Amino acid sequence: MPIQSKLPEVGTTIFTVMSALANEHGAINLSQGFPDYPCDAGLLDALNRAAQAGYNQYAPMAGLPALRAAIAAKLALQHGISVDAETEITVTAGATQALFTAIATVLHAGDEAILLDPSYDSYAPSILAQGAKPVHIALSAPDFAVDWALVEAAVTPHTRLILINNPNNPSTSVFSSADLDALAAIAERHDLLVLADEVYEHLVFDGQQHHSVLAHPALRARSFATYSFGKTFHATGWKIGYCVAPAALTSEFRKIHQFLVFAVNSPAQHAIAAHLAEPAHWQGLSAFFQRKRDLLAPGLQAAGFTLLPSAGTYFQLADYSAIRDDLDDVAFARWLCIEHGVASIPVSVFYRQAPAQKLVRFCFAKQEQTLQAASERLQVLHS
């Protein structure tokens, strides 16, 4: 019996498509955002110890108490804030599940949620799956600055949620404290909730600071904030994340969470709790990834790309107009992968209606030799 699709316009994600194309053509995969180097040996040892110790059955629904306590301690050290580990932190099966759960918690059929494009590709489908409407506001290169007056103009009586990604994937832009003030003012005036995707919180470059909604009192009171240990500890396949929200919001969040996954991988939670106790495991990430950004950049520039500022995340946006002005970004990404052996992501896929720009995204969360090999393959573009 045929069913009516809730997501009729959604197909296979561009990340799956480009990674498959890279595998098919033996290309260096700088498209999908995952490291090609191992995570910390101490983290793997902690995982093995936890499994060998018998922590292989269900964890508590909200997450291992030791891990939630470690997260609360991290937030206190990082932002100087107090978060109740028992009532305000929920461990999730990655940040994507946390995002979907928060959206499902807040939105009902007929509600609206505001997105800032370019936006990560899971946001709009998660909204649509609730029978709600995503309202897209397109930001343009090179700075992807938010016009908060335009955001407020998009608010209607049906608006329930504003979703932000800071630092932003794929634009790599980072919010200022003034941005959070503007967001808070809009949310308070219209009694809106905020969903903040802060998975790249530790990847902010050139001396900038990450401003979290959790450290902004007005936003803290009305926000869900989501995070990813996969990003922080180079273990994207573990799919462990968490959501922080006020107790009343967390209570509703957990009602949905328990029937999506109930509980999350037990030995991995034990391992991360032990690893998180040492701040050095996350405090040096900005410098670590900035070195990788700066290693890839000269190779891209030498190949003829014009680079946009990469203020955060582990991605680099590049304008290819000087190389192939005749191709749109989807066609260019395919051409670059098939003909020159380097996979990227076309930026237009992150928009509902993309502005006129010729941009692709490269991931630099790779080994140095991977980045150097990609640069060498691209040199032919400028010859």
- Tell me the whole-structure pTM to 2 decimals: 0.96
- Look up the CATH number of the domain holding residue 237: 3.40.640.10
Domain boundary among 278, 308, 326: 278
Domain boundary among 278, 305, 322: 278
Domain with 329 in it: 14-32+284-382
For residue 36, the one-letter residue type is: D
Helix (H, G, I), strand (E, B) or coil at 340: helix
Same domain membership, residue 148 and residue 76 = yes
Same domain membership, residue 329 and residue 260 = no
Is residue 167 situated within a structural domain? Answer: yes
Same domain membership, residue 298 and residue 202 = no
Rounded mean pLDDT, 315-332: 97
pLDDT surpassing 70 at residue 144:
yes
- The mean pLDDT value of the chain amounts to 96
Number of structural domains the chain divides into? 2
Is residue 78 situated within a structural domain? Answer: yes
Contact present, 333 and 344 (Cβ < 8 Å): yes
Rounded mean pLDDT, 273-291: 96
Same domain membership, residue 317 and residue 191 = no
- Look up the CATH number of the domain holding residue 294: 3.90.1150.10
Is residue 202 situated within a structural domain? Answer: yes
pLDDT in tens, 183-221: 999 999 999 999 999 999 999 999 999 999 999 999 999
pLDDT in tens, 41-89: 999 999 999 999 999 999 999 999 999 999 999 999 999 999 999 999 9
pLDDT at position 383 is 60
